[in-house]
Amino acid sequence: LLAERGMRGLTHRAVDETAGLPQGSTSNLARTRQALLELAVRRLADREERVLALHEMPDPRAGLDSLVDALALATHRALTLNRELTLARYELALEATRRPELRAHFDAAGARFRERLGGLVTELGSPDPERHVLSLVAWADGLMFSCVAGSFHAEVPGLQDVRSGLREILGGMLGA
């Protein structure tokens, strides 16, 4: 719904209709707009976690190239097969800038991803994992935003191009 209709299209009624549920079902679970948005953030994070499969990342001892391959595949999936999830995340991110009560839920969901990336870059020998995670997330989010909603929306890079970009950024960070 978020990808198709935007933030205004995410209503209790629309969720019921889309899910084929009796009217009022969503309202019973999430009584307020805020509760509906929090539920959307949790659901989106769960779905993105499965798509990105950060829990299945290779052991960093396998080397930088193995990690680059896995991260490139996850990023490319977000740009292609799961483009709607990426667009929905940006809709929720923008809404969180205007709703401090949603911001906390959005940030907590994102922390799951940042913590895992922090562990990976630490194990690869990063001298400054926090800064490197920020740079890595900024690069990936910038690429995804540009290719899903921005000026490159019609030019999704191929898997090899994503891999090359990640190799450059991680190699530069880690001096590899």
Domains of the chain with CATH codes: 38-174 (1.10.357.10)
Question: Average of pLDDT values for 65-80?
Answer: 90
Q: 53 by DSSP, 3-state: which? A: coil
CA distance linking residue 24 with residue 124, whole number of Å: 50
Q: Kindly state the percentage of the chain with pLDDT values over 70.
A: 98
- Give 163's contacts (C-beta < 8 A, 6+ positions apart): 68, 69, 72
Token digits of residue 133: 């995670």
Answer whether residue 62 shows pLDDT above 80: no
Closest to 64 in 3D by CA, of 21, 121, 20, 135: 121
CA distance linking residue 10 with residue 33, whole number of Å: 9
Q: pTM score > 0.75 for this model? A: yes
Answer whether residue 54 shows pLDDT above 70: no
For 35-39, 43-47, 102-106, 172-176, which range has the lowest pLDDT when averaged over its residues?
172-176
Q: What pLDDT is recorded for position 23?
A: 94
